[in-house]
Amino acid sequence: MRVSFAPPPRSRSFDRYWAAARDRLAAVDTCTLASTRVLPTPTEHYLSGTYPPLKAMGPAEPDLLSRATEDLSIYVHIPFCRQRCTFCHFAKEIRATPDRVGRYLDALVREIAMIRDRIGPRRVSSVYVGGGTPSTLTAYELTRLFAALDNNFPWTTGTEVTFELHPQVVRDRGRLADRFAAMQAAGVNRIAFGIQSLDDRVLRTLNRGHTAAEALDLINILSDSPFQDVSVDLMYGLPYETHETWFSTLSAIVDRGIEKLNIFPLFLKVTDPISRLYERKPELFPDGANRFLTYLLTDEYLHDEGFRSGPVLYYSRRLHHSRQQELKFDHIDDVNLLGLGVSSFGYLGGTQYYNLCDLDAYLQWVEAGRLPLWRAATLNQDELARRTAMFAIRSSGIDRAEFLRRFGAPPEKMLPQLGRFAELGLLTIHGDTWVTTPIGAYCVDGMASHLASNAVLDQVLRTNAETADPCTSLLEQHDYSPIGRSGASVVRPKAFRAGP
């Protein structure tokens, strides 16, 4: 029997939403938001995905694993890709040989077993297999990976299990069917895949390795597959993008019945090729005002189409978008995040940590029977309060009563910045919870920078000063935080170089 996505909603015109977005932008005091450094410029748009950031961490100790909660979310990183997207800063290896892939899977299986030996059984709330491009793995390799996970950290039918695809998979329907069978047998029940844009000129500039037609073809294939929980990634702020072309992409995806979207801005990191294009030809990219307008246009349109936002960057027509993301921002101290594989990061018992981000080093450590834990930071109560606040405003908000119970003081007393954010129209109290306003959602990572402690900020700035060449620095490449950045992330000649 054919299973299909929800029927597409009625179409609505671009002009209406663009006009509404312009009216909303005109009502915002952008000068004040910019002067207080909460409104990001194109080179300041980063994601508060960890706290402390990687640059403020020290060496990791193996005993951090013992602090894991009984319930865990699991992230697994597969670093292999067929091409390098010009915007991607995640750990990857391009066109790896089958032997190299097999060696990595050997190491990953061993890492999983070593961790299970250290921490024992745990309940699994969610699993996310990302990359890189996990769909480069064969059906046999996928079966092997999922068997290793199931043998050590089995999940139930209620566990959310997400797998990332790349639109290139449509080029070989036979292999895709085999992969689907392996995924279904393992219990995968959620698919995520990146489209970024449906403008082929933009896709070529990004070196995405797929066309707009192939992306739409994958949506059609999934509509007739067992996988009916699908999330699509889109990116704005891209070269050659206009408001009209962005809206065309967005509305085309919505019209095809996709009910979950992850919509994020282009991050301009010095380690990524796209930043060099920005340096040479910034006029190809939307400026800060047009980025903001795109966000407002998107928010206006999607809410009118029945989507709800939350966590920040995520939109869904359903009640929940992603269990792993919701747990990460709202309940990570109850359901910790275990990262597996090269460059994965996690949070266990109040400790934020990273695995090794260099693939050769990862392989050597695991093959020697050594856990690939690289850098970590254990948070005291003050830092935990800061982390709780900056993560909570990305999602369901800061519950004042729960914050008081946990930290012994109201959030606005421990963090007086919250009151200033409210004065700026970025936060408001709904019931007894601090939540972001729609404008606050756009500035949420700018707010996070202000919530960081002086100790963390000072350590990030010291790391910046000690980094001889940010273009080749693993710390720079894998630190996604806005903390300690001033927009100089694409200024290469002097701003980040130490010495004469």
The domain ranges of the chain are 29-52+380-452, 57-328
Distance CA(448)–CA(480), nearest Å, equals: 13
- CA distances (Å), origin 85, targets 17, 141, 453: 31, 24, 34
CATH class of 29-52+380-452: mainly alpha
Q: Which residues of 172-210 are buried (b: 16+ CB within 10 A; e: fewer)?
A: eeeebebbbebbeebbbbbbbbbbbbbbeebbebbebbb
Tokens of 392: 């909570």
Express each pLDDT in 334-351 by its tens digit.
999 999 999 999 999 999
pLDDT of residue 485: 80
pLDDT of residue 499: 26
Strands 160-165 and 190-196: parallel
pLDDT along the chain (500 residues), means of 10: 39 86 96 94 91 97 94 98 94 96 98 97 97 96 97 95 98 96 97 97 97 98 96 98 96 96 94 93 96 97 95 94 96 97 98 98 98 98 98 97 98 97 97 97 96 96 92 92 70 30
Tokens of 33: 């938001």
Distance CA(27)–CA(20), nearest Å, equals: 11
pLDDT of residue 12: 61
* Among the listed residues 49, 41, 9, the one whose alpha carbon sits nearest the alpha carbon of residue 352: 49
pLDDT of residue 471: 87
Express each pLDDT in 438-459 by its tens digit.
999 999 999 999 999 999 999 9
Q: Helices 381-392 and 444-451, interaxial angle, to 10°?
A: 170
Tokens of 2: 């054919």
Would the CATH topology of 29-52+380-452 be identical to that of 57-328? no
| Residues whose CB falls within 8 Å of the CB of residue 402, separated by 6 or more in sequence, listed in order | none
For 57-328, CATH number out of 3.40.50.970, 3.80.30.20, 3.40.50.300, 3.30.200.20 equals 3.80.30.20
Tokens of 241: 């993008």
To the nearest 10°, report the CA torsion of 392, 317, 219, 162. 40
Tokens of 385: 């309060």
